[in-house]
Amino acid sequence: MKRMPECLAHMDAGIARVSESLPDAPLQEIVLTRLLLLVGGHLLNELELNLKPFGLNDSDFRTLMMIYTSPSGSATPSELCEYAQQGATNMTRIANVLVKAGLVTRASSAEDRRKVVLSITTAGKRLVRKILPPLFPQVHAAFASLSASDKRTLDRLLRQVAVNIDLLTHPDPRP
């Protein structure tokens, strides 16, 4: 696998060559799209590499974190789906994983018996507090070359892009 600078140069060259056959291609935006996909993918690889020793992948971990940070320490699968960009099918699998690992408990709700309540266990909280700290240096390093103002700008721009894509996917600005 080539190092990043060469990889980026190759990408730039390839995209630039597209405009030979399709002159009206929005080159800048295509490059940004590819960069986002590239960075997102590498970030995910790196994160999952750190989670693998604990038998979790990013979906599992994100779900665990959402239950962990929930004020009540519990949540239902459908609530989690709402915010975790995941289908109900996969949430069932994730719940199975977390329950089997003893990190959360699964109980059916009292008020609405269709619902399932996932609650974090002591072991779950302990695992979160064990996994996170070793991640901090790496997360920090990923943005180490950015100034404080760069980071604020990146934050702002990414949120804008997130909203743009959301509008693109689900049009209807009709409440």
Partner DNA sequence: CTTCGATACTTCACTGACGAACTATCCTCT
Partner DNA sequence: AGAGGATAGTTCGTCAGTGAAGTATCGAAG
Query: Which residues, 77 to 106, sit near its own copies by CB under 8 A?
Result: 81-83, 85
76 belongs to the binding site for DNA (CB under 7 A): yes
| Interface pattern 57-76 for its own copies (x via CB under 8 A) | -x------xx--xxx-----
- State the alpha helices, DSSP H only, in 70-118: 77-84, 88-100
Residues from 134 through 153 that contact DNA (CB under 7 A): none
Q: Would you say 77 and 69 are in contact if contact means Cβ atoms under 8 Å apart?
A: no
37 belongs to the binding site for its own copies (CB under 8 A): yes
List beta partners, residue 118.
75, 106
Query: Any long-range contacts for 36-40 (C-beta under 8 Å, 24+ apart)?
Result: 36/161, 38/7, 38/11
Identify the three-state secondary structure at position 106.
Answer: strand
Q: Would you say 131 and 52 are in contact if contact means Cβ atoms under 8 Å apart?
A: no
Q: Which of 37, 43, 46, 93 lies at the binding interface for DNA (CB under 7 A)?
A: 93
Q: Write down the least CB distance from residue 155 to its own copies, Å.
A: 6
94 belongs to the binding site for DNA (CB under 7 A): yes
Residues of the shown chain interacting with DNA in the complex, contacts defined by CB under 7 A: 57-60, 76-79, 81, 86-95, 97, 106, 109, 111-116
